[in-house]
Amino acid sequence: MDETVGMILCGGFGKRLRPVTEKIPKPLVEIKENYTILDKQLFDFKNAGVNEVYLLAGFLHEKIEERFGNEFKGIELHYVIENEPLGTLNAIRLGMENINDKQCIIRNGDIVTDINLSKMIKEGENSDYPFSIFITQMQSPYGIVEITGDKLSSFKEKPLLNYYINGGVYFSKEPLDFGEFKTGDIEKTIFPVMAKENKIGYYKEDGLFWMAIDTNKELEAIKKEYSNKTDKPWGYEKLLIATDKYLTKELFIKENYQTSFHYHKKKDETMYILKGAGYIEFEDRKEYFDKNDIITIEPYQKHTIVARENTILHEISTPYLNDTTRVKDYYTR
């Protein structure tokens, strides 16, 4: 894998999120306590092996610099300041002038998603196209009804539709040719031109969480999503049920990632595989799993969960919430 530089578009005014964005730029909006959209995006870059990121900033950029400075969890941060807002095209053009022709992955600064960035980079590098866009399945903003003959037969609450939208994450193997375009949104200027010239491929992962934080309603929704969710280097963990008798957690492990090698002193746990495939590696063996498999792990059994595909599992265990001893970590914490 060649060195990949990250870029994040941080310069928007966030007008539809006011009054929250009157004193901070949109990327600094918190999705949980002391954890902002930008924290999440930089965390994902770090765990995808991207160690240099350019923040394409403008409005209230000094607030971002105050929070992050020139380094975040080992990531070297650079600031490209647009003194006058001229659209995403100009911001990306300025960013590309600073990265010395390196390949780059670009993110909109208001997107929260569980995308596997390292896989997108690898597929982008191997693609015949110089530029790739992450696409995600469109969710209906409304509930829909289904009809059968002359009757209304069922209701569906905001289903996924058979259409894909621009997911706001881009991979570029080489500098973009901006042609005559100087300002405006990149989606409305050079993207249509590149598409006609067969220069854009796509990357997709169906079933991922994805949300653009553009309104206060969406901000409320993302805070609800993160009320019981903790991002991990390998995916996420959600606490679903906690009683004095048992715990239920949901774990999402990205393809080709794994949890720490760890054990529990008290906790008996049973894992129900809802989606994906992989294996649990113990000290003396590997136990492979697929969808619908059930695996039991006893106390003091050292293990790591390795995902060969995006994997979602429910872990039901005895009620010891913090009973985890890590033997080996595979990522920087």
Predicted local confidence at residue 1, as pLDDT: 55
Predicted local confidence at residue 86, as pLDDT: 81
Q: At what angle do helices 37-47 and 117-126 cross, to 10 degrees?
A: 60
pTM, full prediction = 0.90
Length reported for the chain = 333
What would the pLDDT profile of 254-307 be if each residue is shown by its tens digit?
999 999 998 888 878 899 999 999 999 999 999 999 999 999 998 899 999 999
Average pLDDT over residues 301-317: 94
pLDDT at 8 over 70: yes
Q: Is 233 within 8 Å of 276 (Cβ atoms)?
A: no
Predicted local confidence at residue 333, as pLDDT: 60
Mean model confidence pLDDT for the chain: 90
Average pLDDT over residues 235-241: 94
Distance CA 109, CA 97 (A): 19
What would the pLDDT profile of 64-75 be if each residue is shown by its tens digit?
999 999 999 899
Q: What are phi and psi of 300, to 5 degrees?
A: 70, 5
Name, in order, each residue with C-beta under 8 angstroms of 101's C-beta and a sequence gap of 6 or more. Answer: 174, 175
Report the candidate in 234, 47, 214, 209 with the shortest Cα–Cα distance to residue 112: 209
Tell me the pLDDT band of 320, cut-offs 50, 70 and 90: low
Distance CA 176, CA 191 (A): 10
Predicted local confidence at residue 30, as pLDDT: 93
Residue 279: Cβ within 10 Å count: 18
Q: DSSP labels for 136-158?
A: EEEEPSS-EEEEETTEEEEEESS
**More reliable by pLDDT, 322 or 110:** 110
Distance CA 218, CA 241 (A): 25
Name, in order, each residue with C-beta under 8 angstroms of 172's C-beta and a sequence gap of 6 or more. Answer: 96, 103, 104, 105, 106, 130, 131, 132
What would the pLDDT profile of 161-209 be if each residue is shown by its tens digit?
788 999 999 999 998 888 888 888 998 999 999 999 999 999 999 888 9
Q: Which of 156, 158, 265, 286 is catalytic?
A: 158
**More reliable by pLDDT, 318 or 115:** 115
In order of their start, the domains of the chain are: 4-137+163-221 (3.90.550.10), 229-328 (2.60.120.10)
Q: Which two tokens stand for residue 252?
A: 């999402």
Tell me the pLDDT band of 135, cut-offs 50, 70 and 90: very high
pLDDT at 125 over 70: yes
Tell me the pLDDT band of 61, cut-offs 50, 70 and 90: confident
Please state, in angstroms and as integers, the Cα–Cα distance from residue 112 to each residue in 196, 210, 307, following that order: 29, 6, 22
Predicted local confidence at residue 114, as pLDDT: 96
Active site residue 267: no
Predicted local confidence at residue 54, as pLDDT: 96
- Determine the distance from the C-alpha atom of residue 270 to the mean position of all C-alpha atoms in its chain, rounded to a whole number: 27
Q: What are phi and psi of 310, to 5 degrees?
A: -50, 125
Predicted local confidence at residue 66, as pLDDT: 93
